[in-house]
Amino acid sequence: MTTSPANALPDTPCYLNGEFSTLRDARISVLDRGFIFGDGIYEVVPAYAGKLFRFGQHMARLNRSLDELRISNPLTQGQWREIALKLIADYAITTGAETEKGNQLIYIQVTRGVAMRDHPMLPGLTPTVFIMVNPMKLPSEEQRAKGVACVSAGDFRWEKAHIKSTSLLGAVFSRQISVDAGALETVMFRGDHLSEAAASNVWVVQDGKVMGPPRDHLVLEGIRYGLIEDICRTAGIDFEPGRSARSRRVAAVIGHQGNPAHHPAGRPAGRQRPARPGSCQAVRRLPASQTGVIDMSAANENTPPNPPEAEARKDSLIEYPSLFPIKVMGLKAEGYVHAITVIAHQFDPAFDASTIELRESKGGKYLGVTITVLATSREQLDELYRTLSTHPMVKVVL
């Protein structure tokens, strides 16, 4: 069977079960329980200018979902981080994109594994781990200023919405309602009360107060939920968790990867046709550079810094002494490879320069340099990473 050019998968990087590959080449078993039952969970971690957004909170939610499914986390937090950062760097090399100027989405999926078809949660299986990176599209200036249209519908999905499950047919149906109506999102109600949208958390604004749904099993708590709460506290805006009635006349603010969507104030929610886009004055009180609803690009400033690289390597399974590959990416310029070679010799006097691997970006602007050094201790690797990372010609070190 041939694939039409319109449906051909790109050769962008991904990770599958311990191997780095591309979307074109990665393969899973037809008996993977994620394929047969949707028996798995997923997580999506934004990366702004190459920096992972609230990574610790994303990992905590991944752990909660895995615990609900009785699947052991197959990797440590440090290993998840290492893979994500490598994919970001590989994506930049493959596409020629500048990491510090682009935003990506790291998609993580863990399923129970491969077995003959049987409904119970079979023990002892090896989880399937898949991770890919995709570009993130931020909202336009017009969307920020005016918002976008959305529709509403009854929430017909299951009552374990707090699990970030790969079983997303309910969300597919819900999102299609807005697509058919020419809107961006579908805001859903359980009975008379607001729950969430097809692929978004929802906050409502009334009388200058921001309200969010309770943190319970009926909604998937977005990572931005805590961010909105923090921002409101900093900006002096009241934040109140609670159930909002369908009949309440409010401005409904929807945050999905930074996209704004509003039911304008004074227009009742609960419509099956799109409400005209409108702006929320309460949201406008939040600085555009800090708000999780309008613009996530500066959100890292409001979050704890990523753990140092030493913490990531502390969680990895390195045995000393051993040969250890390090990928360095920087602008393709005269003296760049020599500078990396000098640093490698500084930490490994027996370093063999003939083992250096070079990979040019698609546009030829960047050069990936892989050096393989003899790792003798975690302290040695930590100092080597610090030295490479602070070199003016280096952009990313993995």
- SS3 at position 251: strand
Cis (ω within 30 of 0) for the bond into 321?
yes
Residue 151 to residue 197: CA distance in whole angstroms:
10
Task: Report the largest interatomic distance among the alpha carbons of the chain, rounded to a whole angstrom.
Answer: 73
In the block, tokens 């704004």 appear at 260
| DSSP helix/strand/coil, 372 | strand
Q: How far is CA 217 from the centre of its chain?
A: 22
Which of 232, 292, 212 shows the shortest CA–CA distance to 259? 292
Cα 396 to Cα 8: distance, rounded to the nearest angstrom: 30
Residue of 164, 327, 362, 395 with catalytic role:
164
Q: Give yes or no: 164 in active site.
A: yes
Cα of first residue to Cα of last residue in the chain, in angstroms, is 38
The C-alpha atoms of residue 273 and residue 296 are separated, in whole angstroms, by: 29
Residues annotated as catalytic are 164
